[in-house]
Amino acid sequence: MPHGETGEPRVVSIPFQVLSWKPRALYFPNFATSEQCKSIIEMSRSKLKPSTLALRKGETAESTKGIRTSSGTFISAQEDKTGSLEVVERKIARATMIPRSHGEAFNILRYEIGQRYVSHYDAFNPAEYGTQKSQRIASFLLYLSDVEEGGETMFPFENDSNMGIGYDYKKCIGLRVKPRRGDGLLFYSLFPNGTIDKARVGGSSRTSRSLGPSPDYPVQAVTLGSRTNHSQRAVLSGLAKSVLDGK
């Protein structure tokens, strides 16, 4: 098919499964190769530091201790000399139709046994975080390793379930996606009109047993997230990347 100046000369097929419409979540099997996942793990191994949180009004590092216990680092595709991140970034752009220029750097995360990320929103509510110059509209997770037990990405409010019942954000319930090396997970934090999807609260349950390269380095996922239009985060247990709205 003839294409425009910014188009591509061939048809590309990227298989996916719709996991949920509330929130909108898509699963991409075999999105990245095992070699690409291993390359991402190795380039980030020496750069990992304890993960931090964006604090809401009145919150402190001490009061939020234990909510997010992973370690991670940010690496852009331009910093990666192996080219693995660029290949993944280009494929994410095709799958989401969000330009690469709208993405944040990859947030590569590592979850060791017993670590987790309590249920949360990727989007930033201005009422809680103050005025935002941009916003995360979606996140793309790329799982970097297999996990034998635990470590699922969960959506406790899928199809409006568990909402309005005094939900315990530390519980691992609802729709759960098991980490599998090379697979991708895309979920949208905003509706098309720009408002926050309340059903998109999600988190990472504790990793109980890992099939990672070594007992002391259980890696499970990669996340790719985005600001105001799309988020691509990568998790080293995963990898994450965020997309900006361009404002």
**Geometric angle at alpha carbon 34, from 21 and 52, rounded to 5°:** 65
Give the domain CATH number at 84: 2.60.120.620
Number of domains in the chain: 1
Query: 90 lies in a domain?
Result: yes
Give the per-residue pLDDT at 54. Answer: 61
Domain assignment present for residue 1? The answer is no
Q: How far apart are CA 207 and CA 133, in angstroms?
A: 35
Is residue 8 included in any domain, yes or no? no
Tell me whether residue 76 is in a domain.
yes
Q: Can you give the residue range of the structural domain that contains 145?
A: 17-51+67-243
**Model's pTM, two decimal places?**
0.75
**For the segment 73-127, what is each residue's pLDDT rounded down to a tens digit?**
889 999 999 999 999 999 999 999 888 888 888 988 887 777 666 665 676 666 6
Q: Is residue 61 part of a domain?
A: no
Looking at the domain assignment, is residue 9 inside a domain? no
State the pLDDT confidence band at 48, using cuts at 50, 70 and 90: confident
Distance of CA 54 to the CA centre of its chain: 16
Q: Is residue 6 part of a domain?
A: no
Whether 118 maps to a domain, the answer reads yes
Alpha helices in the chain (DSSP H): 34-44, 84-96, 126-129
Which residues, other chains included, contact 118 with Cβ-Cβ below 8 Å and sequence gap of 6+? Answer: 66, 67, 68, 169, 170, 203
Confidence of residue 236 (pLDDT cuts 50, 70, 90): very low
Q: Which of the given ranges, 37-41, 104-108, 210-214, has the highest pLDDT on average?
A: 37-41
